[in-house]
């Protein structure tokens, strides 16, 4: 039910959710708390509390990139639970479909665009073969890359990533504490 009664008031949960989303999107695009509060007709302290209620974590921005990975959904779920901003993992089949669905120039342009996006992260946890890890570390800025070598190049079969080990790595990058559930 979208409407709830509180005393003599009727409150719309979807209206609250929609307003919260608009405020947080404005904040994510660089608007100050003061300006967002003014734009949406709320107190600045409300904007601050809204951010606190939804906060998963503070600190470094993290991306997890990996291929060829067998347990992609398990990794995506872990990244979602921990608040990792970008999780891009593929099976070997998905990797080949991705590459073969583009012509040469499209693929090069897309890889360069992705590398540019990935470089914006403070830390990139890279799950790949030894040669791919070296190449990606060079492209992305090796100081930001935490390599997790899945095996010797070339890898043609999917590799199961140890989820608990990945959890410990992500948690360590975050500063040792998992986000509240």
- Model confidence pLDDT, tens digit, residues 130-140: 999 998 888 88
| Mean pLDDT computed over 35-54 | 90
Residue 45 sits in which domain range?
3-54
Dist. CA 162–CA 24, nearest whole Å: 34
Residues 26 and 66 in one domain: no
Three-state secondary structure call for residue 60: coil
Element (H, E) at 75: helix 72-82
Tell me what the pLDDT averaged over the chain comes to.
89
* pLDDT tens digit sequence for 57-81: 566 789 999 999 999 999 999 999 9
| Mean pLDDT computed over 98-122 | 90
Structure tokens at 116: 């540019």
CATH of the domain at 75: 3.40.50
pLDDT of residue 114: 87
pLDDT above 60 (res 33):
yes
């Amino acid at each position: 039910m979208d409407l709830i009664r509180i005393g003599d008031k009727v409150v719309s949960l979807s209206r609250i959710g929609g307003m919260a989303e608009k405020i947080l999107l404005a904040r994510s695009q660089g608007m100050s708390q003061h300006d967002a509060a003014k734009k949406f007709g709320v107190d600045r302290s409300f904007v601050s509390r809204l951010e606190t209620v939804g906060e998963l974590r503070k600190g470094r921005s993290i991306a997890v990139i990996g291929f060829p990975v067998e347990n992609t959904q398990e990794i995506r779920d872990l990244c979602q639970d921990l608040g990792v901003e970008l999780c891009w993992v593929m099976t070997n089949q998905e990797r080949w479909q991705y590459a073969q669905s583009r012509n040469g120039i499209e693929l090069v342009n897309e890889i360069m665009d992705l590398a540019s996006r990935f470089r914006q992260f403070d830390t990139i946890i890279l799950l790949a073969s030894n040669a791919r890890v070296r190449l990606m570390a060079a492209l992305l800025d090796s100081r930001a890359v935490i390599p997790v070598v899945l095996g010797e190049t070339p890898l043609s079969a999917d590799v199961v990533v140890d989820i608990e080990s990945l959890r410990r790595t992500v948690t360590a990058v975050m500063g040792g504490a998992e986000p509240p559930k």
